[in-house]
Amino acid sequence: MKTERPAGVAGIVLAAGSGTRFGSPKQFALLDGERLVDRAVRLVTKAVGEPVVAVPTGYVWDGPPVHAWVGGGGSRLQSLSAAVDELPADAEFVLVHDPARPLATQDICHAVLSAVIDGGADAAMSAWATPDTIKNVRADGSLQHLGRDGMVVAQSPMAYRLSTLRQAIDHLMADDSTSPGSVTEETVVIEQLGGRVVCVPGDRWSHHIVEPRDLDLAHYLLADDAYDIH
Ligand code: C5P
C-alpha cells in the first residue's frame, strides 16, 4: 500500500554510486530477488511517501514509482545536491537513505525524523554503540587512543531540517578547500556550521554493503522478520 507523504516531509534515496569497492554498482545487486535500490525506495516510500532517487548519470529509472529521479554526480554530496533540487516545494524535513543499508527499518526512519521534527535537531542519524575500542592511525603510523565510551558507528538513514542541509551543501560546494568526494556523509558539515547533530539507537547488524560477501550476511539476517518492510 502506498503511503501518502506527510505534510512537509520528503525522502531521498542516494543510488548514484559506482560501486568501486563492490566491483559493480551495488545498488542494482539483488538481495532475496529484489534490487537494493528498490528495497531502499520501498522503505522510504513506506516511511514518508515516494522519494527522489539519484541514479548514475545516463541511467533511466526503471524501478518502483518515485516522486522524481535525477542523474547523480561524481560524489555523494553532488548526488545529494541534485536530489535536493527535485524535492517537493513544501518540504521542510527530509529523510535520506542509502541502498547500501538494506537492513534499515521503518522504526529507525521514524526515530531519526522525530529527532529533527519533534526534538529540534538539525540532523539525526542512526548509530550503534561499538563494543570495540577505537583508535585513530596518525599519518606516521602511530596510534591515538580514542576509547570505547561514547563511541558510536554512524549508519544511514539520516534526517535533516532541509534549510540546514541546503546551507551545508551550499557551503561545501563553495569551499574550494574541500573535495566533494571526501565528504562520506554530510552531517559533519552541519556540525562544523554549528548545527546540532544527534543520533538515535541504530542496529549493530544493519551493516554497510561494501563487498559481495556482505550480501550473504544480509540474506542470512533477513530471515528474521524484524527486518521485514511492512
Ligand atoms: O560508497 P558508499 O557505500 O559509502 O556510498 C554511500 C551511498 O552514497 C551509496 O548509496 C551510493 O550509491 C551513494 N552515492 C551516490 N553518488 C555518488 C557516490 C555515492 O549517490 N557519486
Q: Convert the pLDDT of each residue in 36-87 to its tens digit.
A: 999 999 999 999 999 999 999 999 999 999 999 999 999 899 999 999 999 9
Mutate to test the pocket of ligand 1, among 98, 188, 209 (most ligand atoms within 8 A of CB): 98
Q: What is the CATH number of the domain that holds 82?
A: 3.90.550.10
DSSP strand E in the chain: where?
A: 9-14, 30-31, 34-35, 52-55, 68-71, 93-97, 123-129, 134-137, 143-147, 152-161, 197-201
> Does the beta carbon of 109 lie inside 6 Å of ligand 1?
no
pLDDT tens, 118-165? 999 999 999 999 989 999 999 999 999 999 999 999 999 999 999 999
* Per-residue exposure over 78-99, b if at least 16 CB sit within 10 Å of its own CB, e if not: bbbbbbbebbeeebebbbbbbb
> Does the beta carbon of 209 lie inside 6 Å of ligand 1?
no
Identify whether 147 is part of a domain: no
> Does the beta carbon of 99 lie inside 6 Å of ligand 1?
yes
Identify whether 101 is part of a domain: yes
Identify whether 139 is part of a domain: no
Identify whether 41 is part of a domain: yes
What's the 79 CA to ligand 1 centre distance in angstroms? 8
Domain of residue 199: give its range.
9-126+153-227
Q: How many domains does the chain have?
A: 1
25: left (phi over 0), alpha (psi -120 to 50) or beta: beta
The distance of Cα 173 from the centroid of its chain, to the nearest Å, equals 19
- 106: cell is 521503518
Q: Is the pTM of this model over 0.85?
A: yes
Q: Is the dihedral of CA 176, 182, 188, 190 positive or negative?
A: positive
